[in-house]
Amino acid sequence: MTKLSVNINKIATLRNSRGGDTPNLLKVAKDIQIFGGEGITIHPRPDERHIKYQDAYDLKPIVDTEYNIEGNPISKFVDLVLAVKPTQVTLVPDAVDAITSNAGWDTKKNRDFLIDVISEFKRNDIRTSIFVDPVTDMIEGAAETGTDRIELYTEEFASEYAKGNKNSIQPYAQCSQLAINLGLGINAGHDLSLDNIQFFKENIPGLLEVSIGHALISESIYLGLENVINMYLHRLK
> pLDDT 10s digit of each residue in the chain, 237 long?
899 999 999 999 999 999 999 999 999 999 999 999 999 999 999 899 999 999 999 999 999 999 999 999 999 999 999 999 999 999 999 765 555 556 799 999 999 999 999 999 999 999 999 999 999 999 999 999 999 999 999 999 999 999 999 999 999 999 999 999 999 999 999 999 999 999 999 999 999 999 999 999 999 999 999 999 999 999 998
Q: How crowded is residue 112: how many other Cβ atoms within 10 Å of its Cβ?
A: 9
DSSP SS3 for 14: helix
Phi and psi for 152 in degrees, rounded to 5? -70, 130
Residue 19: per-residue pLDDT: 92
Residue 98: per-residue pLDDT: 55
Q: Compute the 3-state secondary structure of the chain and give helix, strand, coil in percent, each to the nearest 5.
A: 45, 15, 35
Query: Measured at the alpha carbon of residue 158, what is the angle toward residues 51 and 74, in degrees to the nearest 5?
Result: 35
70 is catalytic: yes
The residue annotated as part of the active site, out of 50, 66, 151, 190, is: 190
Return the biggest CA–CA distance within the chain.
48
C-alpha 20/C-alpha 230 separation (Å) is 29
50 is catalytic: no
80 contacts: CB under 8 Å, gap ≥ 6: 44, 53, 56, 69
C-alpha 72/C-alpha 60 separation (Å) is 20
Residue 103: per-residue pLDDT: 77
> What does pTM read for this prediction?
0.95
Q: In this structure, are residues 50 and 12 in contact, taking their beta carbons and an 8 Å threshold?
A: yes
Residue of 101, 46, 98 lying closest to 76 (CA atoms): 46
234 is catalytic: no
The residue annotated as part of the active site, out of 38, 50, 66, 70, is: 70
The residue annotated as part of the active site, out of 43, 66, 151, 209, is: 43
